[in-house]
Amino acid sequence: MVEKDFLHFCLSMKLKYANAGLALLLGFLLSACGGRQESWVVPQPQKVEFGRGYFDAGPLAEHSSHFRKQLDTSLHQPESYRLRVERDSVILLAADSAGLFYGQQTLQQLTRSDGRIPVVQIEDAPRFAWRGFMMDVSRHFYDTAFLKKQIDAMAVLKMNRLHLHLTDAAGWRIQIDAYPRLTEFAAWRKGALWKDWWFGSREYAEEGSPEAFGGYYTKDQLRELVAYAAERHIVIVPEIEMPAHSEEVLAAYPELSCTGVPYKHADFCPGKEETFVFLQTVLAEVMEIFPSEYIHVGGDEAGKAAWKTCPRCQQRMKQEGLSDVQELQSYLIHRMGDYLAQHGRRLLGWDEILEGGLAPGATVMSWRGIDGGLQAVRAGEHAILTPGSHCYFDTYQDAPHLLPEAMGGYLPLEKVYAFEPVPDSLSLQEAERILGVQANLWCEYVPTPEHAEMMIYPRLFALSEVAWTKSELKDWNDFHRRALRLCQTFEAAGYHPFDLANEFGNRPEALASITHLASGKKVSYQLPYYPGYAAGGDGALTDGLRGGWTYGDGRWQGFIRRGRLDVTIDLEEVMTLSSISADFMQVCGPEVFLPAEVVISVSQDNEHFDTLAVHTHEVVRDSQVRFEPFAWKGQAKGRYVRYQARSGQYGGFVFTDEIVVR
């Protein structure tokens, strides 16, 4: 940005790309501050010291010498800047052009509606180099105008990586000249809503046919988008899924699967050399469009079932000395990593690329918690942390009954803000290999731009501060104050953030512990709980802790073996009982269902049980998140309480949080 452009920026308090609809922070952020000077900047700078008074930007056109900006080589950290506002001058120094740009974002956020800028000194630099956001454009296609709008918001938040999930079963979204069927056929599905298609025929359609829904980006559109992002110091990282999540490719080019039969496989066949020709050809065209150092190859959730019996896969394993299909997947990832390295690029993949051995030089994007990332950095490689627990924005951010349908889960703003990417267990050298953090919006249940923005904001505000601001400077109450104002600003600028001001909060039952006759009593399990959803272990069902809006909050205990829960509680003495109750939840997206049958019984000797209640329930797959109690009320005597529940026709999990005995 030349000096003239910068002066115009300071005069108008708008980004030069305001035609994209993001004339943000135009007087909203500080207009209500009165005489008290507070920072409304998001993300919070590393060091802020306010003085007294203001610089008046109004007459700047006649006094342009009062503004100065320049590069300063003494600022060694990339993207860093220093901003000094006095009553008669504004000076912005930065280590590089990105630092100048981010200093300008901060200056804009400091400016009041009347054009005054508070006297302040700021020294600022990002905590992490990778400050990312992923947009899933496969499950629902979003045009480049929508993406530019989000790029504008990312620039204000000092985010610098836009990861595009361009390919998946629901649609291929990038023009590839060598394989035209990818956009003629694989980019179009029969059905506008992902869930209708996924739980229906899962068929694709010819471009232009009446039933076709989807779309793709031309190479020219993507090049223009890359340039647009680069002007805002954002790198677009493309993702081409392999070897799994590739149903759309294998419907268009079935010869790349193990059997050659369309609509049968999700995984490429690594036993066929044609597979590597295809993948390398595609990546060559991708690299022509995207200058990003990193190319994301997916690598997650590969079933690999066909590989175990495929003659070509077995022959490949024999030739390469591979012991199992995990090592066969690693072989594929290694080859793609070598190919990218030959072209000066680096491979990036989800943490499943660790299975079978991590390819040298590969960077792990850890989504199944942070353990995969920690494993990578301890092995000398780099990692980006994006755990589903804190960074998956396809989840509910408030009470599910108040929001549109989501994948499930519960990720409120406060939990995003609480994410700490670097555990104390890492050495300094290992911690330095954590490149940064990233938020992800998967769009299976996000079919409109308005819904997408509600899922993104304000949670991306929180992630931006996790990515930029040192952990010791973070303050939830102060951030919440700033986030409320920034929501207003985004809404005024044409965005659709979640209504943070009227947040309902967690499930009321989860807000306080309870006591009852079974509190702390021993629970015997006739069938084990699922280890991944153990909650509090053997004592979870009598610990007095009720679950919140999601089964993943560490309080709901999950059962999937034969779809049954079967436990007995020892009350330690015969008691007179008046009620026995347990809550269950249903969220169909992740296959969590209410039980089809519940049996409640009691015994005095743990051998002969009297049945108190039998509940039968018709399990219906729907879009609602449900919480329902299954209880007995009456009068009975017993020492042992047995509670049984089984799943219905859909199988899946049953979850309960506490068996309450009174």
Please give the positions annotated as active site.
168, 245, 301
**Do 296 and 349 touch, CB atoms closer than 8 A?**
yes
**β-pair type (67-71, 188-190):** unpaired
Side-chain-side CA neighbours of 55 within 13 Å: the count stands at 26
Token pair recorded at residue 226:
């890359």
Query: Within the chain, how many helices (H) and strands (E) appear?
Result: 17, 26
The Cα diameter of the chain in Å comes to 94
Q: Phi first, then psi: give them for residue 24, nearest 5 degrees.
A: -75, 155
- CA 242 – CA 227 distance, rounded (Å): 27
Helix, coil or strand: residue 565: strand
On whether the CB atoms of residues 55 and 47 are closer than 8 A, the answer is no
Cα distances (Å, whole numbers) of residue 218 to 40, 224, 265, 286:
39, 10, 27, 11
Q: What are phi and psi of 169, to 5 degrees?
A: -55, -35
The amino acid that residue 397 corresponds to is Q
CA-to-CA distance for 114 and 34, rounded, in angstroms?
12
Q: How far apart are CA 350 and CA 61, in angstroms?
A: 51
Residues 428 and 476 sit within 8 Å (Cβ to Cβ): no
For 183, the 3-state DSSP assignment is: helix
Residues 6+ apart with CB under 8 A from 189: 170, 171, 197, 202, 203, 204, 205, 212, 213, 214, 248
Who's near 123: CB < 8 A, 6+ residues apart? Answer: 45, 46, 47, 80, 82
